Amino acid sequence: MPLTDMPLEDLRSYRPDVAEPSDFDEFWASTIAQSRTAASDPTLVAAETPITQLVVEDLTFSGFGGEQIRAWVTRPRSDAALPAVVEYIGYGGGRGIPGERLQWASAGYVHVLMDTRGQGSNWGSGGHTPDPHGSDGSTTGFMTRGILDKDQYYYRRVFTDAVLAVDAVRSLPFVDAARVSVTGASQGGGISLAAAALNQDVFAAMTDVPFLCHFRRSVELTPDNPYREIERYLAVHREAIEPVFETLSYFDGVNFARRLARPALFSVALMDGIVLPSSVFAAYNQVASPDAEIEVYSFNGHEGGQHAHWVRQAGWLGERLG
């Protein structure tokens, strides 16, 4: 598709006024503290897989409210404590079957692929983590589940799972706890941005074509799903426009970027019809860290840089780990 947004020179200086609740920090500190109090020790079980040259394990850890979340751990056979990369998944996908993602482990990292609660049935090989919470009326998908109440909104649970995934990974005996980074593309990119802002023990964040940023502009202008789920909801619930965007302000990647003090590598695709480039730059241009870069893929859509970008990430992270 053609360019979907502003010229690149305008994007590089784009700093919109995005609403930030006065109790944003208090809300998230309380949310995370409550779930940490309810957490139990993570468990690991060997995965059934024909892979022999890497260790593949099934991790169960405590997420939001102490609820059990699943993840695959894939790592080299090594006695040393290794740096780790926690990866979050794109919209509608699950962690799949063991051994599907081997790149980070093949590069010498402990790779942890977190399942996204309630998802895993739109593409890929499935997920294994339910979301036991109900919701008021919502559109098909996940974007409007609990959207009238910040305490009940779906992404409160997902972002908390992501923060506690880092806690769990740092406790594993084969992980160097000081060198745990986060990554993800699309929804996973938005989750990684939140996790790195909310968990100060994250070493670095690699946020690829991140979804869940600058909600107001994204809902009003993005031509494709999933943002159109919110558009459809508001077309029916005409009286709920301001309450909906008030809820979303607690989950906006721009507000998390303002609190991201760790090294950060973003990517953006200028022909993206799912995540507007301006929404990515709205967050990137607010990153608090002095060590922040963005890779621009001028002629790509939402696929972004794919494996070429992973090579870029691996080099960038390796430089910072020394």
Residues forming the active site: 186, 272, 302
Contact 192, 263 (CB under 8 A): no
Contact 146, 136 (CB under 8 A): yes
What ranges make up the beta strands (E) of the chain? 43-46, 54-62, 68-76, 82-88, 110-114, 175-185, 205-208, 264-269, 292-297
Alpha helix (H) residue ranges in 110-240: 154-170, 187-198, 215-221, 227-236
Q: Is the peptide bond before 226 cis (omega within 30 degrees of 0)?
A: yes
Contact 63, 160 (CB under 8 A): yes
Torsion angle of the four alpha carbons 35, 248, 23, 62, in this order, in degrees rounded to the nearest 10: 10
**Backbone angles phi and psi of 296, in degrees to 5:** -105, 125
